[in-house]
Every structure is written in C-alpha cells, then in structure tokens.
Amino acid sequence: MDLDPAYIRSGLIVFILLFAGVAFHEWGHALAADMLGDDTPRAEGRVTLNPLVHMDLIGTVIAPLINIFLFGGSLAFMGWGKPVMTNDSNFSHRVRDDIIVNLAGPAANLLVALVSVVVGSFVVVGQPRLGELVNELVVMNVGVAVFNMIPIPPLDGTSILRRLFGVTEEAYLNMSRWSWVVLLLVVNLRVTQALIIGVVELGCRPYAFLCAWINPMAFRLIFRS
C-alpha cells in the first residue's frame, strides 16, 4: 500500500465520488419503483439521495477501499449499494416494470454523467482545475452503470436476466449467497478488467463528443487533460 499523502488524497476523492455515484444509482431504482406504483422503497426511506441510506458495508465501503488502496483502483467504479426492496405485486406489469426499475439505477448514473458534462462544458473554461473532476465524475458514473450490468448477483444485470429467463426467487437467492466473493474474484482477472474498462471507455465517448460539440476548449480541459 502506498502511504504517500497525495495518493491517499486521490484515493479518498475517488471513494467519495463512488459513494455519491452509488447513492444516485440506488435512488434511481427507488424513484422508478415509486413512480410505477410500489410504495415499498418510500416506506423504507429509500427515495432519497442521502448516501448513508443506500450504503452497503461490503459493496460501498469494504470492496471499494480494498480495490482503491490495495489493488491500485484499476476498477475504481467497482461498487454497489444496499438493494432497494420492491414488491412486484404493486406493479401493473410485473416483469416489465421490474426490468424498468433495475435499468433505472444505471440510467440515473448516465444522467449524472450527462449533467456533469453539460455543466462542466461551461464552467471549466473559467475554472480549468475542475476539468479533472468533471472527467472523474463522467468516468465514475459511466463505470458504475456498466459495472452494475455485470450478470453476477447482487448486480442489476442478474436481476434483469432473472426476469427475462424466469429464474425463481429461490434459485436467485441460492446464487446470491456467496456471489460477492465470486464477483471480487472475477473483476480482478486481467481479461475481465480489460473488457470492463473497454466498455466504460466506449460508454464515455458520447459524452466526449457532446462536450466537444458544446465547447471545444472545455473538451480539451476535461477529456484531454
């Protein structure tokens, strides 16, 4: 572990951005469920951007800190929050609405990345030092969206596939028992890391194109810094 103060400071900034990204992600799930007629997330206080409400000890704290400070943060966006509980009997269309709720988390992160680019395109010209922060916001939120689509419990990709292929709740729970251990092992394989990073880079390109279209000077400060 590198105990250099600059490294620790950089790692903590990344951790804070991830913490916020996870909060937006879980808020997206909760808000979508609430809008589709399920009051379970609201009753449990999950329709909020308070990050502490959405924190999962392993997914939001332990795994990210280990990844950032022990493994060098190769996948700095590796994190997940406490699952948002829903009652699909409250949905008008159980399968469709549950898929929408699961997609709403990644969609919330992509929206944060979009807002970051649009605002940053106008702000960083006057405050060039913010260029790196905007870049990290985009990469982090696109990364959280992509990471959570991996088809390993408790990530959203598995929940979506479960609905599409009709996997029973019991089978899903059995899969989830030690899945976080499998997840940590899988994402530390070089081939898996390269694949995830490649998808994240592709996911960031539309934001870079948008920034270049809005303000070429901001593009250089955000994506070429």
Q: Is the pTM of this model over 0.75?
A: yes
- Mean pLDDT over 159-185 rounds to 81
The span from the CA of 225 to the CA of 213, in Å, is: 17
- Per-residue pLDDT at 44: 96
Please, what's the b/e burial string for 88-110 (b: 16 or more CB within 10 A of its CB; e: otherwise)? beebeeeeebbbbbbbbbbbbbb
Per the structure, how many domains does the chain have?
A: 1
- Which two structure tokens, joined as six digits, stand for 143? 């990364």
Number of Cβ within a 10 Å radius of residue 174? 12
CA-nearest of 96, 82, 95 to 41 is 82
Sequence-separated contacts (24+) of 72-76 with Cβ below 8 Å: 73/11, 73/14, 74/193, 74/197, 75/143, 75/147, 75/187, 75/193, 75/196, 75/197, 76/14, 76/18, 76/139, 76/140, 76/143
- Per-residue pLDDT at 203: 97
Q: For the chain, how many helices (H) and strands (E)?
A: 10, 0
In the block, tokens 């919330």 appear at: 108
Residue with the bigger pLDDT between 169 and 225: it is 169
Q: pLDDT tens across 126-135, in order?
A: 999 999 999 9
* Helix axes 94-123 and 216-223, enclosed angle (nearest 10): 110
Residue with the bigger pLDDT between 72 and 164: it is 164
Residue with the bigger pLDDT between 208 and 171: it is 208
Number of Cβ within a 10 Å radius of residue 122? 11
- Per-residue pLDDT at 177: 79
Q: Using 50, 70 and 90 to split pLDDT, how confident is the model at 217?
A: very high
CA dihedral for 47, 52, 58, 63, sign (positive or negative):
positive
- Per-residue pLDDT at 3: 65
Mean pLDDT of the chain: 90
- Per-residue pLDDT at 202: 97
Domain that holds residue 116: 5-223
Q: pLDDT tens across 31-90, in order?
A: 999 999 999 999 999 999 999 999 999 889 988 888 888 766 667 778 888 999 999 999
